Amino acid sequence: MLRLDKLDTAVFETVLSSIKRIEASAYPCHMQMIQDVDCLDDVLEYVEARKVFVFSCDKFYIIATKNEVCDFAAIESLTLKDIFFIADVLYDHFGNKKFSMDARSSTSYKLIRFFEKRGRVVVHSRKEWDWDGEAMLELVVSASKPVTSGDVKLSSYAMMKVIAQVILSEVTL
């Protein structure tokens, strides 16, 4: 993830423009908080922190502080490669420390459940709340280290079973 305050102005403006485009497409109007952000100070005020980290690409973005995912949005269905990349980004940023996030039940919470079922995150607490008719969850989670081939050896059958389970799971954001 990039530290926004370490970016030059042109890169910051490009990243912010991409985030605004994705947010406008992904969220209903009452949930769009970045549209009026114009400078780093506005972003810092939004995240209520002194340091802010961002990962942004054409399909999705993550805005985080050292203890929280402040915003995560995607504009299209994510591929399995995207999904596992997001898990890696979270682990690289937070390690196995607990962090908080709010998740829409209809979108990002599905991704968290996907990760939880596969051992990529541990959900320590979840509290339901409502945002203008949208079901939300306040979560405290920690990311888990990805399992590599050196950590575990699966038989071909077991590997095929895992792949089939992933393919059959419905994770559409």
Per residue in 80-126, pLDDT (tens digit) is 888 888 888 899 999 999 999 999 998 899 999 999 998 899 999 99
Specify whether 110 is located in the same domain as 173. Answer: yes
List, as one string, the DSSP characters of 5-41. GGS-HHHHHHHHHHHHHHHHHHS-GGG--STT--SHH
Specify whether 44 is located in the same domain as 122. Answer: no
Query: Which residue among 23, 42, 76 closes a domain?
Result: 76
Specify whether 67 is located in the same domain as 83. Answer: no
Q: What is the pLDDT of residue 5?
A: 78
- Whole-prediction pTM value? 0.81
What's the domain count of the chain? 2
Query: Which residue among 21, 42, 76 closes a domain?
Result: 76
Q: Is the pLDDT of residue 129 over 90?
A: yes
Could you tell me the pLDDT band of residue 155, with boundaries at 50, 70 and 90?
Answer: very low
DSSP state of 4: G
Average pLDDT (62-73) is: 95
Q: Are 50 and 4 in contact (CB under 8 A)?
A: no
Specify whether 147 is located in the same domain as 136. Answer: yes
Give the separation between CA 115 and CA 24, rounded to whole angstroms.
26
Specify whether 65 is located in the same domain as 109. Answer: no
Q: What are phi and psi of 139, to 5 degrees?
A: -120, 150
Tokens of 159: 């590997």
Specify whether 82 is located in the same domain as 55. Answer: no
Closest listed residue to residue 97, CA positions, set 124, 118, 72, 70: 124
Sheet holding 98-104, edge to edge: 2-3, 53-56, 60-64, 68-74, 98-104, 134-143, 121-131
Among 15-29, 135-149, 159-173, whose mean pLDDT is lowest?
159-173
Helix (H, G, I), strand (E, B) or coil at 105: coil
List, as one string, the DSSP characters of 121-170. EEEEEEEEEEETTEEEEEEEEEE-PPP-TTT----HHHHHHHHHHHHHS-
The chain-wide mean pLDDT, for the chain, equals: 84
Q: What is the pLDDT of residue 9?
A: 84
Average pLDDT (68-88) is: 89
Q: Which domain holds residue 53?
A: 1-76
- Cα torsion 135, 136, 141, 144 to 10°: value is 60
